[in-house]
């Protein structure tokens, strides 16, 4: 006799998944493949998601760590996270046809960094060491003119040479709450510090974190669909835990640990900005194999942001 499945309510967060910058970056690779034919080289993962990267590989994209691995005469795309200035300069030197898929919101931070340094300020950059976006932003200004601040204790400890001539900028994919705490410390310690004109943390990161807060308060556990090297996805796990739900990152449906769901009656589901909606459906379908699921969409802010494509590809779109 068939055993009846245990019931499980799924709270599906919105907004979730792809943001405008990720959508644009993936479209750039796809249109480059259409226009130029395979192979199209991509320096670093276009976005931090294995499913997306593998899908583009299947279409003829080749992902490399450095520009030196790109042969002459083929197009190359720079990832959504941004690159140091030296990379496009090197591409031009070699005569490579390159397309810059840097998210426009990251490019905005790059331009702010240049202006602040031109005005003689030393930048305290709030971000995570080794993240491609941080490496790209540091590469916009001469060495030694920017210092990385990762934690509140870094903000308390930093002793800059000229405390009256400072500025701060942030990585676009940070925890809104953690970053606010660090900024408050910097502003307390250095009252003359200059901040960015607007918020550096991007709209999509903020919106997805708020959507997770809204569902985490109503459930015992949250699954975040995303990659471990995706900063915004890892932050979503932290946000859910801070709201009192246990939370876990999963890449695909087969990553779900059923034992971890023992005793869970309401489960929140969201996806990082690099995770496509097809993976959300895969996770829901996997859960439906084991539970009697009832889905509830929890609607948040409506996102209407769209970014223009590079001029070279606009006609192909």
Active-site residue list: 133
Q: How many Cβ atoms sit within 10 Å of the Cβ of residue 2?
A: 4
Residues forming beta bridges with residue 9, ordered by sequence position? 266, 294
The set of residues, in sequence order, having a beta carbon less than 8 Å from that of 212 and lying 6+ positions away, is 13, 222, 224, 236, 239, 240, 243, 268, 270
Burial class (CB in 10 A: 0-12, 13-18, 19+), 289: exposed
Q: What is the C-alpha to C-alpha distance for residues 4 and 278, in angstroms, rounded to an integer? A: 27
**3-state SS class at 138:** helix
Q: What is the C-alpha to C-alpha distance for residues 20 and 25, in angstroms, rounded to an integer? A: 9
Query: DSSP characters for 249-266?
Result: EESSGGG--GGGGTT-SE
Residues forming beta bridges with residue 40, ordered by sequence position? 61
In total, the chain counts a number of residues equal to 317
Residue 62 and residue 42 in contact, taking contact as beta carbons nearer than 8 Å: yes
Beta strands at 76-78 and 40-43: parallel, antiparallel or unpaired: parallel
Question: 160: closest CA among 170, 178, 148, 174?
Answer: 148
Question: 270: closest CA among 232, 307, 243?
Answer: 232
Burial class (CB in 10 A: 0-12, 13-18, 19+), 13: buried
Question: 43: closest CA among 31, 54, 23, 29?
Answer: 29
**3-state SS class at 61:** strand
Residues forming beta bridges with residue 225, ordered by sequence position? 250, 271
């Amino acid at each position: 006799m068939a055993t009846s499945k245990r019931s499980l309510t799924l709270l599906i967060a919105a907004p979730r998944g792809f943001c405008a910058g990720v959508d644009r970056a993936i479209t750039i690779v796809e249109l480059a493949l259409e226009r130029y034919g395979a192979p199209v080289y991509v320096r670093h993962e276009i976005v931090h998601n294995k499913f997306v990267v593998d899908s583009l590989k299947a279409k003829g994209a080749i992902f490399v760590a450095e520009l030196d691995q790109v042969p002459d005469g083929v197009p190359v795309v720079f990832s959504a996270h941004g690159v140091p200035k030296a990379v496009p300069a090197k591409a031009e030197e070699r005569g490579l046809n390159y397309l810059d898929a840097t998210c426009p919101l990251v490019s905005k931070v790059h331009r702010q960094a240049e202006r602040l340094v031109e005005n003689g300020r030393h930048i305290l950059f709030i971000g995570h060491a080794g993240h491609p976006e941080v490496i790209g932003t540091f590469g916009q200004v001469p060495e030694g003119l920017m210092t990385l601040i990762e934690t509140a204790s870094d903000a308390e400890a930093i002793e800059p040479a000229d405390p009256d001539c400072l500025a701060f900028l942030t990585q676009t994919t940070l925890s809104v709450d953690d970053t606010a705490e660090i900024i408050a410390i910097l502003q307390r310690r250095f009252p003359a510090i200059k901040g960015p004109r607007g918020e550096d943390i991007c709209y999509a990161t903020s919106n997805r974190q708020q959507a997770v807060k809204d569902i985490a308060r109503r459930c015992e556990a949250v699954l975040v669909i995303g990659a471990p090297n995706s900063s915004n996805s890892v932050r979503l796990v932290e946000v859910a835990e801070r709201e009192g739900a246990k939370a876990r990152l999963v890449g695909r449906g087969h990553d779900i640990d059923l034992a971890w769901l023992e005793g869970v009656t309401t489960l929140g589901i969201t996806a990082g900005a690099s995770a496509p909606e097809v993976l959300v459906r895969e996770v829901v379908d996997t859960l439906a194999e084991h539970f009697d699921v009832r889905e509830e969409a929890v609607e948040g802010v409506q996102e209407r942001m769209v970014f223009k494509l590079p001029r070279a590809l606009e006609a192909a779109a």
